[in-house]
Amino acid sequence: MKKYLFTLVAFSFLLAGASCQQKTDNEKEMKAHADAQLEVWNTGNLSLFDDILSPEIVTHNADVEDLIGIESVKVWVTSTRTGFPDVNVTIDDLIVKGEYLVWRWTFTGTHTGLFFDMPPTGKKSKLPEYLSLTLLMGRKSNHGNIITS
């Protein structure tokens, strides 16, 4: 079911105007954006957000309130990395179409630190099939996450 959801979303973007041209500068920029997101999550280098995110970014998550502004996104990443200091995020699929970036990624980590109000459990966590949809207008301005498993 989860792979079908990703395929359906991805296919809808491709139907909107697929072509056989080489990667455009925009596609390269979008890939660089995804790589920078990975670096932030995997290394904690929050300063990269200042370069790739719009100051007015809104991040929609099913499990928490919307994150509004770069600072709230930085707090979320910092809290997550505090709770899961060995966090590792990998991109499983990446599709770029125009101003849209759709990616399926996997989060793994061990809960050894305080995660917001949750004390450490010592348990390993894996969130596979995490789908992100990003709308870029110059810099990233709107972002949504869906856990599909």
d(CA 112, CA 37): 23
d(Cα 92, Cα 131) in Å, to the nearest integer? 10
Is residue 16 included in any domain, yes or no?
A: no
Q: Determine the pLDDT at residue 69.
A: 84
Indicate whether 113 belongs to any domain.
Answer: yes
* Token duo for residue 46: 């929050």
Written as one letter, the residue type at 22 is Q
pLDDT by residue (tens digit) across 7-16?
A: 444 434 333 4
Q: Which domain holds residue 94?
A: 2-9+25-147
| Tally of CA atoms within 13 A in the half-sphere of 142 that contains its CB | 4
What integer pLDDT is reported at residue 129 of this predicted model? 67
Task: Evaluate if residue 40 carries a pLDDT over 70.
Answer: yes
- Band (pLDDT 50/70/90 cuts) for residue 17 is very low
Whether residue 92 is contained in a domain is answered as yes
% of the chain exceeding 70 in pLDDT: 69
Number of domains in the chain: 1
Provide CB contacts within 8 A for 63, sequence distance 6+.
147
Instruction: Quote the pTM value.
Output: 0.72
Residue 15 lies in a domain: no
